[in-house]
Structure 1
Amino acid sequence: DKKVVRFGQGAELEITDLVERKDSLTFKANFLEQVLDLPVTGKYNATNAMIASYVALQEGVSEEQIRLAFQHLELTRNRTEWKKAANGADILSDVYNANPTAMKLILETFSAIPANEGGKKIAVLADMKELGDQSVQLHNQMILSLSPDVLDTVIFYGEDIAELAQLASQMFPIGHVYYFKKTEDQDQFEDLVNQVKESLGAHDQILLKG
């Protein structure tokens, strides 16, 4: 016999309190006494940590051990990692891997983080690879996660992402969407770098995903 445990709103395992900050989060779950701290942002990370906590408890790990383990979590480089640009801007690097779910979640996370005082929010999005025949369609779905009310500028790079850039240009003000090609015949990466340097202010936040 296998025990089935469900998680999510109204399920057996549920996050009851979640506080997200720029580079960390705290949460409680309905089966935990303690508040857990994670040195990473993103609601999806809280969900993953909640599930891991439940499994650990079933294996006899104490809540205090779980709390300490998450507190000293060692993160994989370029997975929801904050860095500093040379001019002082905040870089959220999430380029370790890319798939539609991951891109949607990091865009939602980045959009939910308050902008720095006097700064704007910029997203740089590149092709997601190995999506097969549906690649362009799956890229286009990301338009639902791009809001001109939150993001000032979006910069696109790649081949399959070209249609998404076109969709975004119809939604954002003129001059706030840029597209740079990467095909077998042409690579405009240096142009992209120059555009980022031109757009990025010292108080800005910029997301790198692709």
Structure 2
Amino acid sequence: MKMTTEWIHRHFPSARGVASESIEIKNVFTDTRKKTDKGLFVPIRGDRFDGHEFLKDAIEGGAVAALWDEKIDVPSYVPNDFPLFFVDDTIIGLQQLAHVYRKEVNPKVIGVTGSNGKTTTKDFVDAVLAPSFKTHKTDGNFNNHIGLPLTILAMPASTEVLVLEMGMNHFGEIENLSFIAEPDFAVITNIGESHIEFLGSREGIAQAKSEILAGLRDGGTLLLDGDEPLLAPLHTREGVVSCGFDQKNECFLSNIQMSGSTTTFTINDGESYSIHLLGKHNVKNASFAIVIGKALGMDPSDIQQGLNEMTLTGMRFELIEGKNGAHIVNDAYNASPTSMRASIEVIKDLNQYSRKILILGDIFELGAQSEEMHRSVAPSIDSSIDVLITVGDESAVIAEEVKKHHEDLDVYSYSTKEDVSAVVQPMLQQDTIVLLKASRLMAFESFVEEFTD
């Protein structure tokens, strides 16, 4: 189908201008700073801004129509023939439009949520399916109540598989996204501690992630982390596939070997696969994509081809060559205690390096449990690590705890990043690997420029 103003008018009959004419809509946008071509402008009202004030910029930038809050007067500069579709709330209108478009295009929809690994899993799923299907996936962090509908509305009408990442901070948000998307496959990658400040506990996080079931289509499949006890109540549902390292899982993962930048593994039906990423946690992320690929009729060889061609969204366990032949693992996109421990475990298993350096930063949104959660990272750090550097007031407790148990380990703790480079630069040698891990706001990617040529 081709999106036109006439098609939108059928779903939003309250309108003005030439709304009933078949004016082509090539894209839907909310940011007037970016030029567009034949766009539908959706003005968003926030706490500190109102997109309705930028309609003139939108028109000058290429908008040929717009949604409009019916409670706001139409500015006098708007041409009489310019199509405006009146809604009670423009965000809800955007979501409704995306839902209708999803149903009309009618691709297979895969929804991915979880505390950690959802972006990597989304990338795996898209990579596996792309050689066999016309796919469209969430770009960047467009995974919330505005980004997800924009992602849906950006998919070509020929899309056969739509891969949607679903993020949240509070209860009810994943439920809303699931109703908009109506997934055929829903994935819960794991339960960590992200957003525990708002959700109270890991049990609360599990409840919030399970909201993805709200819009799951009849006969749909739920894939989940089978090693997570908090998801155990979901195992009794029909259409559930558990993936993990315990033999009880339907997709049982074993024989995990890491070499260079590649991890190989076996699933319980005897098939072996490899991914160009390190770590057991990434094996589990890949397993969700493998199960979906097989469910859609793909052969193992085609699935492996897709895994080989995967392009990872940036700053997620990127292995980069640093100065003097050292290697830097840029895992700085975000962090939780669970993902930080997982990354440390990967570094510990890389036996080809004789010196291992951890640079860990603050983890945010942990609320009153912040000290306890940061301290929980320390037991993962043992004598197989040579140097620990923490940056920030919150992560200092990791250094404090490690010092108690490992006197032979060099431990540094800084409030800010400024002094770190001077300490690390002399350590960068052929046999050294450095892990960068912290919450997004710590901007640890700045270290990559300092530690590489």
For Structure 1 versus Structure 2, the TM-score category normalised by the shorter chain is 0.7 to 0.9
Corresponding position: 1:72 with 2:309 = yes
SS at match of 1:45: helix
1:6 CA drift (Å): 2.4
1:152 CA drift (Å): 0.8
SS at match of 2:256: strand
- The match for 1:16 is 254
Q: Within 5 A, what are the aligned runs for 1:1-210?
A: 2-8=238-244, 9-10=246-247, 11-31=249-269, 33=271, 35-116=272-353, 119-148=354-383, 150-173=384-407, 176-181=410-415, 188-210=416-438
1:32 CA drift (Å): 5.4
1:174 CA drift (Å): 6.1
Where in structure 1 do 4 or more consecutive aligned residues deviate above 3 Å? Answer: 198-202
1:146 CA drift (Å): 0.3
Letter in 1 for 2:418: E
Give unpaired runs (5+ residues) of structure 2: 1-218, 220-237, 439-453
CA contact (8 A) 2:266 2:273 kept: yes
- In structure 2, how many angstroms separate the alpha carbons of the residues matched to 1:179 and 1:87? 25
- In structure 2, how many angstroms separate the alpha carbons of the residues matched to 1:94 and 1:157? 15
TM-score of the aligned structures, taking structure 2 as reference length: 0.42
Identity, % of aligned positions: 28
- The match for 2:204 is none
User: CA 1:22 to 1:144, structure 2 compared with 1: closer, same or farther past 3 Å?
Assistant: farther
- In structure 1, how many angstroms separate the alpha carbons of the residues matched to 2:412 and 2:427? 11
SS at match of 1:201: coil
Letter in 2 for 1:110: I
Letter in 2 for 1:125: L
User: CA 1:65 to 1:156, structure 2 compared with 1: closer, same or farther past 3 Å?
Assistant: same
TM-score of the aligned structures, taking structure 1 as reference length: 0.88
1:62 CA drift (Å): 2.2
CA contact (8 A) 1:115 1:204 kept: no
> How many residues end up aligned between the 2 structures?
200
SS at match of 1:49: helix
Q: Which one scores higher on RCO, CA 8 angstroms, separation ≥ 6?
A: 1
Is the deviation greater in 7-16 or in 151-160? 7-16
Question: CA offsets per residue over residues 174-202 of structure 1, 9 Å max, x none?
Answer: 67100001xxxxxx322111111133334
CA contact (8 A) 2:325 2:428 kept: no
CA contact (8 A) 2:243 2:287 kept: no
CA contact (8 A) 1:115 1:121 kept: no
SS at match of 1:208: strand
User: CA 1:151 to 1:174, structure 2 compared with 1: closer, same or farther past 3 Å?
Assistant: closer
- The match for 2:11 is none
1:82 CA drift (Å): 0.9
- In structure 2, how many angstroms separate the alpha carbons of the residues matched to 1:115 and 1:176? 20
SS at match of 1:194: helix
